[in-house]
Structure 1
Amino acid sequence: MSVETQATAADSGAKATERFRANKSFTSEVTTERVNKLASRAIKALVDTVVEEKVTYEEYNALKAWLIQVGETGEWPLFLDVWIEHAVEEVANENRESSKGTIEGPYYVPNSPVQQTPGTLPMREDEPGTPLVLHGKVTSVDGNPLTGAKVEIWHADDLGFYSQFAPGIPEWNLRGTILTDDEGRYEIHTVQPAPYQIPTDGACGKLIDAAGWHAWRPAHLHLKVSAENHQLITTQLYFQAGEHLTDDIASAVKPELILDPQDVTDGSGREVGYDFVLATVN
Structure 2
Amino acid sequence: MTTPTTTSDLNPTAADSGRSATATFAQKERDAAPVDSARVSTVARAALAALHEVIREHQLTYAEYDALKAWLIRVGDDGEWPLFLDVFVEHVVEEVVHADRRGAVGTIEGPYYVPGSPEFAGEATLPMRDGEPGTPLTFQGTVTDLDGTPVDGAVVDLWQADADGYYSRFAPGIPEWNLRGTIRTGADGRYTFHTIAPAPYQIPTDGATGALITAAGWHAWRPAHLHLKVTASGTLPVTTQLYFDGGEHIADDVAQAVKPELILRPTPAASGNGVEVTYDFRLDPA
Interval containing the TM-score (normalised by the shorter chain) = over 0.9
- In structure 2, the residue matched to 1:192 is 197
Structure 1 counterpart of 2:267, which letter?
Q
Q: Does the CA contact (< 8 Å) of 2:141 and 2:192 recur in 1?
A: yes
- In structure 2, the residue matched to 1:205 is 210
The answer to whether the aligner puts 1:82 opposite 2:87 as a matched pair is yes
Q: Secondary structure at the match of 1:225?
A: strand
Q: Deviations over 1:214-233 (max 9, x none)?
A: 00000000000111111111
Task: Decide which moves more: 107-116 or 23-32.
Answer: 23-32
- Give the Cα–Cα distance (whole angstroms) in 1 for the partners of residues 9 and 155 of structure 2: 30
Check 1:238–1:39 CA distance in 2 against 1; reply closer, same or farther (3 A cut): same
* Structure 1 segment 260-275 matched on structure 2, within 5 A: 260-275=265-280
What are the ranges of 5 or more consecutive residues in structure 1 without an aligned counterpart?
none
Q: Deviations over 1:231-280 (max 9, x none)?
A: 11100000000010110000000000000001125431100000000011
1:3 is displaced (CA, Å) by 11
Structure 2 counterpart of 1:6, which letter?
N
- In structure 2, the residue matched to 1:47 is 52
- In structure 1, the residue matched to 2:221 is 216
- Give the Cα–Cα distance (whole angstroms) in 2 for the partners of residues 267 and 4 of structure 1: 33
Q: Does the CA contact (< 8 Å) of 1:3 and 1:168 recur in 2?
A: no
- Give the Cα–Cα distance (whole angstroms) in 1 for the partners of residues 61 and 81 of structure 2: 25
The answer to whether the aligner puts 1:121 opposite 2:126 as a matched pair is yes
1:23 is displaced (CA, Å) by 2.3
The answer to whether the aligner puts 1:241 opposite 2:266 as a matched pair is no
The answer to whether the aligner puts 1:226 opposite 2:237 as a matched pair is no
- In structure 2, the residue matched to 1:36 is 41
Task: Decide which moves more: 75-84 or 15-24.
Answer: 15-24
- Give the Cα–Cα distance (whole angstroms) in 1 for the partners of residues 76 and 215 of structure 2: 18
Q: Does the CA contact (< 8 Å) of 1:4 and 1:167 recur in 2?
A: no
Equivalent of 1:26, from 27, 32, 37? 32
**RMSD (Å) for aligned C-alpha atoms:** 1.5
- Give the Cα–Cα distance (whole angstroms) in 1 for the partners of residues 240 and 24 of structure 2: 19
Equivalent of 2:141, from 136, 141, 166? 136
Q: Does the CA contact (< 8 Å) of 2:138 and 2:269 recur in 1?
A: no
- In structure 2, the residue matched to 1:183 is 188
Check 1:190–1:247 CA distance in 2 against 1; reply closer, same or farther (3 A cut): same
- In structure 1, the residue matched to 2:158 is 153
Task: Decide which moves more: 230-239 or 20-29.
Answer: 20-29
Structure 1 counterpart of 2:20, which letter?
K
Q: Does the CA contact (< 8 Å) of 1:130 and 1:269 recur in 2?
A: yes
Structure 2 counterpart of 1:28, which letter?
P
- Give the Cα–Cα distance (whole angstroms) in 2 for the partners of residues 277 and 27 of structure 1: 27
Q: Does the CA contact (< 8 Å) of 1:133 and 1:187 recur in 2?
A: yes
- Give the Cα–Cα distance (whole angstroms) in 1 for the partners of residues 187 and 130 of structure 2: 31
Q: Does the CA contact (< 8 Å) of 2:8 and 2:206 recur in 1?
A: no
What are the ranges of 5 or more consecutive residues in structure 2 without an aligned counterpart?
none
- Give runs of ≥4 in structure 1 deviating > 6 Å: 1-4
Q: Deviations over 1:5-24 (max 9, x none)?
A: 11010011101010011123
The answer to whether the aligner puts 1:173 opposite 2:182 as a matched pair is no
Structure 1 counterpart of 2:281, which letter?
F
- Give the Cα–Cα distance (whole angstroms) in 1 for the partners of residues 168 and 271 of structure 2: 30
Q: Deviations over 1:146-190 (max 9, x none)?
A: 012111000000111100000000000000001112211111100
Check 1:129–1:147 CA distance in 2 against 1; reply closer, same or farther (3 A cut): same
- Give the Cα–Cα distance (whole angstroms) in 1 for the partners of residues 245 and 259 of structure 2: 12
- Give the Cα–Cα distance (whole angstroms) in 1 for the partners of residues 233 and 271 of structure 2: 38
Q: Deviations over 1:173-210 (max 9, x none)?
A: 00000111221111110000010000000000000000
Q: Does the CA contact (< 8 Å) of 1:4 and 1:168 recur in 2?
A: no
1:31 is displaced (CA, Å) by 3.1
Q: Secondary structure at the match of 1:111?
A: coil
The answer to whether the aligner puts 1:15 opposite 2:20 as a matched pair is yes
